[in-house]
Structures are given as structure tokens and as C-alpha cells.
Amino acid sequence: MDRPSLPTMLFRGLFRRCAWCGGRGAFFTGWTSKVAHCRTCGIGWRRGLDGYELGAAAVAAIISMGPLVFILGGVMLATWPDFPTVPLFVALGAGGLLLPVLLYPSSYTMWQAVDIFMRPVEAEHFADGAAPRGG
């Protein structure tokens, strides 16, 4: 089977779907509880690498903190030179605490998309060792 395009896999990952097959809630049985393999196609979410979570943490930082930086810059430009320091600190602080929790599952599935894009999928990456299916 051909690998889906990176935009397709990232879009699937954004909505907590398996990047490879698009299966709903593929790896998550709860908000933070994961299973080792997609429940639809059987691909493993780690694919045998130690430190896989570091990539997912980087994606989580980008998708949760990136928008906060843009919001901060926009508010500062719009209200310069007297920007509302305390409300801005409270709102962005709350966003900085809540967004990583809310986007935790998406960060893992989006990182899986990037990982699949960088490293080809092989039969050994699936739960039963069968050829890749889904898509």
C-alpha cells in the first residue's frame, strides 16, 4: 500500500486518528490512555524506537505554545504601548496550562504522521507482522 501524503496524515493526527489508516481513536482508549497498536490497522505508535515521546513532546510544544506566542504578539501590537499586562498574563498562563492537556492525544498522532513520513512503514511495525493495510 502507498503511504498517504504528509498533509493527509497530519490532518488525521490532528483529530486523534491513526495517521496510516485514519481509524477513529486508533490508539486512545481514554484521553491519555493509549494502546500499543492501532485498533483498526495494527500499526504500532512507537515503531520500536526509544525516545519516541520526545518527538511527540516537541509537536505538543509547537501546537500548543505556538498560537499563544502569536496571540501575545498580536495583542502587544494592537495595544502598544499600554498593553494589558495582568489580563494578558492570566489568559496566556491559563492557555499555557490547558492547551498541552487538551492537545496531548493530537500531539502523539501528529508525531506519528511525521514519523511515518520520515521512516517507511514495514511489516514488522504492525501488531501481527502482516503487510501494511488500511489507508
**pLDDT at position 104:** 86
- Per DSSP, helices labelled H in the chain are 6-14, 52-79, 85-102, 104-118
**pLDDT at position 17:** 92
- Does residue 6 surpass a pLDDT of 90? yes
**pLDDT at position 125:** 83
Q: pLDDT tens-digit profile of 82-134?
A: 888 999 999 999 999 999 889 888 898 999 899 899 888 888 888 775 545 54
Q: pLDDT tens-digit profile of 25-59?
A: 788 888 888 888 898 888 987 776 667 778 888 88
Q: What is the mean pLDDT of residues 64-81?
A: 92
Note if the bond before 132 is cis, omega within 30 degrees.
no
